[in-house]
């Protein structure tokens, strides 16, 4: 189980070129990948995207690529002779020099240095792709390690909370019959008072039948069984070594639905307190699940 939050960085050097790649990720419903890189990386950017998409499934992922020359790389000098000659002729025409041959390069460059350009030797795409891919994999490995480490901590916290919720639902189960009996007795007394005020008579069997029908609507056995089943399912899912975030979202929605139903049926104050505790724990679990890939 992995978290969606992490950071990884790697720097490698090859053929006089240093590549640094930083990858950071935060929570997101889907995989949202953004790459910021210099122009010379555009041709091999697909390799970065492909590496990340193979390993990450959810999260907002930002990738920063930096290229820098190291050691002595061959340079190319491009001379614009036409512009150079034009500057020399202007200096002669203005009387600074008597002939073009007398005009020094320093004078030409004091006017403009646009006539000379220095460019690095072109980087072969195959070499660049190899360097970018290897650096990406190193940075990605560091990111995944951090996501796994945080995932372990989240898993531990969630499993502890599931044990707490299992204990709470057990308490609810152990007191549900007493709560139903108390509800029946309270309902019986109210109905007798109501019938008495109307000065009518009703058979005891009919009264008990009506009470049983109404009390049956407060039974929460089915909801408890389903909630326990979801606890087991959630526990088993947490132990899987695969992307589980979306599945956990769905299970928690189902658990929350069962808790709401229990809360609407359970009229006893002690059960209501337990329902509130369950809702608090479920909310904490839901918040943690948002961090899981």
User: How is domain 6-71+124-148 classified at the CATH fold level?
Assistant: Ribosomal Protein S5; domain 2 (3.30.230)
When pLDDT is cut at 50, 70 and 90, the band that residue 191 belongs to is low
Write down the pTM of the prediction: 0.69
* 70 within 8 A of 18, measured Cβ to Cβ: yes
Buried residues in 22-38 as b, exposed as e (16+ CB within 10 A): bbbbeeeeebebebebe
Q: Which residue has better confidence, 83 or 194? A: 83
pLDDT in tens, 57-87: 999 999 999 988 776 656 667 788 888 888 8
Q: Which residue intervals of the chain bear CATH 3.30.230.70?
A: 6-71+124-148
pLDDT in tens, 234-246: 999 998 888 898 8
State residue 15's pLDDT score. 77
State residue 72's pLDDT score. 62
State the residue for tokens 């992490």.
Answer: 6
pLDDT in tens, 40-59: 888 888 889 999 999 999 99
pLDDT in tens, 118-166: 666 566 778 888 999 999 999 999 999 999 999 999 999 999 999 999 9
């Amino acid at each position: 189980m992995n978290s969606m939050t992490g950071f990884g960085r790697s720097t490698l050097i090859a053929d006089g070129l240093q590549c640094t790649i930083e990858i950071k990720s935060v929570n997101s419903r889907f995989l949202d990948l953004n790459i910021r890189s210099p122009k010379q990386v555009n041709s091999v950017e697909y390799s970065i995207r492909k590496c990340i998409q193979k390993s990450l499934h959810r999260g907002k992922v930002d990738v920063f690529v930096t290229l820098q020359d190291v050691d002595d790389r061959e340079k190319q000098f491009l001379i614009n002779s036409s512009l150079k000659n034009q500057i020399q002729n202007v200096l002669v025409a203005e009387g600074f020099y008597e002939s073009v041959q007398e005009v020094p390069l320093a004078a030409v460059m004091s006017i403009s240095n646009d006539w000379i350009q220095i460019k690095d030797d072109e980087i072969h795409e195959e070499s660049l792709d190899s360097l970018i891919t290897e650096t990406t994999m190193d940075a990605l490995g560091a990111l995944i390690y951090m996501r796994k480490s945080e995932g372990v901590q989240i898993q531990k916290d969630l499993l502890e909370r599931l044990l707490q919720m299992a204990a709470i639902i057990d308490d609810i189960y152990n007191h549900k019959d007493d709560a139903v009996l108390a509800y029946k007795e309270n309902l019986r007394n109210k109905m007798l008072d109501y019938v008495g005020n109307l000065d009518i008579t009703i058979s005891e069997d009919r009264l008990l039948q009506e009470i049983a029908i109404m009390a049956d609507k407060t039974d929460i056995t089915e909801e408890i069984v389903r909630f326990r089943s979801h606890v087991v399912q959630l526990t088993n899912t947490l132990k899987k070594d695969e992307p589980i975030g979306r599945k956990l979202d769905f299970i928690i929605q189902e658990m929350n639905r069962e808790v709401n139903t229990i809360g609407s049926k359970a009229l006893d104050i002690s059960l209501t307190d337990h329902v509130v505790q369950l809702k608090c724990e479920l909310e904490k679990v839901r918040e943690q699940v948002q961090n899981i890939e």
